[in-house]
């Protein structure tokens, strides 16, 4: 019985946070499109451009606004389609100096999510509707996330 309880606790600690766990503390995060400047995205129906990298890979540029949180935090980004990851999630440990003030909030951009580094084919991603999530976990235990439904586009077309 003790072994089963210990395994349950251990496995629970390794599970990714669920939607109900997103929002401990008073802070918030808002995900946006990156690039030369960060842009807001609607809750659904936004577009996210696929970028062809200089070394042959493809990725998307993202960013986030953080408010009411200790800026000694880890910021994670991911794309999901029907619960499955699209590309490689990004996790960035940050400190206050890596954010810029933006009114009441602080902004971080551009960051990227790599779609494919090895055999990139933009065609396999264009037109797909994915959930873009930014998640912030601060050193003081605050946790916030934001998800937007976006369509991957190819600005080169």
Domain that holds residue 91: 23-153
In a domain, residue 4? The reply is no
> What was the pLDDT predicted at 22?
76
Q: What is the pLDDT of residues 100-138, one digit of tens each?
A: 999 999 999 999 999 998 877 899 999 999 999 999 999
If one counts the domains in the chain, the total is 1
Task: Using DSSP bridges, classify how beta strands 129-138 and 105-116 pair: parallel, antiparallel or unpaired.
Answer: unpaired
In a domain, residue 9? The reply is no
In a domain, residue 148? The reply is yes
Looking at residue 56, which CATH number applies to its domain?
A: 2.60.40.2550
In a domain, residue 97? The reply is yes
In a domain, residue 14? The reply is no
In a domain, residue 89? The reply is yes
Residue 88 — pLDDT band, cuts 50, 70, 90? very high
48: Cβ contacts below 8 Å, ≥ 6 apart: 33, 41, 60, 62, 130, 132, 150, 151, 152, 153
Average confidence (pLDDT) over 41-70: 93
């Amino acid at each position: 019985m003790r072994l089963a309880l210990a395994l349950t606790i251990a496995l629970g600690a390794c599970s990714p946070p669920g939607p109900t766990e997103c929002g401990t503390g008073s802070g918030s995060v808002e995900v946006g499109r990156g690039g030369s400047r960060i842009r807001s995205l609607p809750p659904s129906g936004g577009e996210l451009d696929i970028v062809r990298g200089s070394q042959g890979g493809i990725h998307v540029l993202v960013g986030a606004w953080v408010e009411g949180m200790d800026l000694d935090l880890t910021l994670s980004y991911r794309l999901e389609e029907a619960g499955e990851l699209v590309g490689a999630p990004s996790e960035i440990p940050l400190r206050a100096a890596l954010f810029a003030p933006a009114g009441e909030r602080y902004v971080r951009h551009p960051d990227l999510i790599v779609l494919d580094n090895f055999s990139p084919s933009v065609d396999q991603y264009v037109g797909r509707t994915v959930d873009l999530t930014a998640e912030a976990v601060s050193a003081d235990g605050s946790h916030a996330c934001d998800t937007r439904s976006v369509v991957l586009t190819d600005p080169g077309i």
